[in-house]
Structure formats: C-alpha cells, structure tokens
Amino acid sequence: MSYENILFDIADGRATLTLNRPDSLNSLNVAMMQEIRDAIGAIDVDQNARVLVLKGAGRGFCSGADLAKGSGANNGDGPFDAGLVLELQINPLMRLLADVRVPVVAAVHGAAAGVGCALALAADFVVAARSSYFLMAFAKVGLAPDGGATWILPRLVGVARAAEMLMLGERIPAAKASEWGMIYKVADDDQLIAETDALASRLASGPTVAYGLVRRALHAGLSSSYGQALTLERENQRVAGLTEDFAEGVRAFREKRPAVFRGR
C-alpha cells in the first residue's frame, strides 16, 4: 500500500516506518495517524517483519500533534473536545504499538515533542542523536499530556522527574534523558543511523516470538502482581518452548555454535 504521510517498507527482516511530513516537523495529523496504524497492523500479518524501526524525515523525529487550523485536531471555532482525537486516533495507535509482535526501535533526531515524544518512548529501544531533545509542552498550550505519557514517564524516570517534564515543559536533552534512564543510548549525530541499523539487525536475527513475549510480559508486569507475573511467565514459556527457534537454540548450545534463529 502507498502512503502520503509516511514511508513504510519491510526488507531484510526489518519494517521501517518513517514519519514523512518534514515541512511540519512530522507533526501528526489524522491522516498520518491512520496510516501509521495501517502499517503497524501489516507487521502483525507479515512474518518477514522481525523488528520495527521508527524514524522521522527531515529535521526532527516528530513535533507532536498538528494543531494547525483544519488539521483535524482543532477547528479553532468555539468549544472543542480535545480528547476526541485521543479516543479516535492517538489511543488506538498507541495500543497497536504496545501490542505489536516484534521489538520496536526508535531513532530520534531533532525534536521528539508532545505525542511524538510519547511515540518514541513507547519503543523498546530509543537511540537518540546527541543533539536531539525530548519535550512535553502540553501545559504551555493549556493541555494535559497524552499518548500514554502519564503512564510511561513515571515508570521510566520516577514521579518527580515526570512532573518536571510534564508541568514545566522544558527540553530534556538526549544526554540528560540517558542519565535519567529514559532512553537506551545516545549516539553521535553522524552515527545515529549506523547505531540504529546495528541494533535493528541484531534484533531482526533474534528469536522473534520470544521477543514478543518479553514485550508482553514487561508491559503487563508494570501493573500486575508478582503472582500474575509468574502465571504469565508460565504461559509465555509454554509458547516459546514450542517454537522452532527454541529447538534451534538448544541444538546450537549442544553443538557449541551460534544459533541461527528464523523468527518462528
């Protein structure tokens, strides 16, 4: 399928989704969010996809929701239910991303702001260019956070730092985000793509089913009891133990060689 607001392809085990509205710093409008959802849905039915890489075209990753008049976010005339676009577009998108069956890597350069910041932080691994920054400026326009920010940020950095980010609306440079434990790695600007590609290649050659089960357990474990986590681990291990990759892993261990996983 061809898209107008994103670039999307699957090759060499890697699904690459590039936000492609560079003239607006890849701000998310309704059409773009629908296209992202469609692309993420395609990953779950294409067994060739073993990792998802999120990127942004142009000068930055994503500047957040498109607040321009006529964008679908706000018509600028009278009272407006700003939560409606969350209900209809943003929340379904973030749920799809949370449930995708493959690991997710975000390559962040320039700004990752607003829901764009939440989108990046929803990835399992965030590789950020040294000059990039993360920004939650909802309060500066009189809005509350969205994109799951109030759920993920306290879990990544703690309540005090989450409050700093969400209430003061100041830029968090990549180095500070790394110090806070908010992201996986900072890369020199000219090494961002190489670092991201290396990580994506590593994940694409790994046990895809097991990675998906890890994602599921990590997300569930943040809000489950210890007993519930143990129960889910038991079920996940049953599923993983039936995969071809597990059988290959055991053979490779016995034969003292690197495993060659097929993602099945």
Q: What CATH number does residue 80 fall under? A: 3.90.226.10
Residue 260 counted as domain residue: no
Pick from 87, 92, 137, 102: nearest CA to 116: 137
Cα maximum dimension of the chain? 70
Pick from 95, 97, 143, 135: nearest CA to 117: 135
Domain that holds residue 222: 208-254
Are residues 63 and 177 both part of a single domain? yes
Residues 174, 128: contact at Cβ < 8 Å? yes
Round to whole Å and give the CA distance between 34 and 32.
5
Are residues 184 and 222 both part of a single domain? no
Chain-centre distance for alpha carbon 26? 15
Round to whole Å and give the CA distance between 163 and 149.
11
Are residues 94 and 17 both part of a single domain? yes
Residue 243 counted as domain residue: yes
Domain count, the chain: 2
Are residues 105 and 44 both part of a single domain? yes
Residue finishing a domain among 204, 225, 240: 204
User: Cβ–Cβ contacts within 10 Å for residue 168, how many?
Assistant: 11
Are residues 127 and 46 both part of a single domain? yes
Residues 55, 18: contact at Cβ < 8 Å? yes
Residue 261 counted as domain residue: no
Residue 244 counted as domain residue: yes
Element (H, E) at 176: helix 174-180
Residue 262 counted as domain residue: no
Are residues 51 and 152 both part of a single domain? yes
Tens of each residue's pLDDT in the chain, 264 residues = 689 999 999 999 999 999 999 999 999 999 999 999 999 999 988 889 999 999 999 999 999 988 764 444 555 555 778 888 889 899 999 999 999 999 999 999 999 999 999 999 999 999 999 999 999 999 888 889 999 999 999 999 999 999 999 999 999 999 999 999 999 999 999 999 999 999 999 999 999 999 999 999 998 888 888 898 899 888 988 999 999 998 988 898 899 989 998 988
Are residues 141 and 217 both part of a single domain? no
Residue 118 counted as domain residue: yes
Are residues 86 and 43 both part of a single domain? yes
Residue 24, token pair as written in the block: 């607006």
Are residues 228 and 188 both part of a single domain? no
256 three-state secondary structure: coil
Q: What are phi and psi of 126, to 5 degrees?
A: -115, 115
Are residues 146 and 18 both part of a single domain? yes
Are residues 112 and 213 both part of a single domain? no
Residue 246, token pair as written in the block: 């597990």
Residue 263 counted as domain residue: no
Are residues 229 and 113 both part of a single domain? no
140 three-state secondary structure: helix
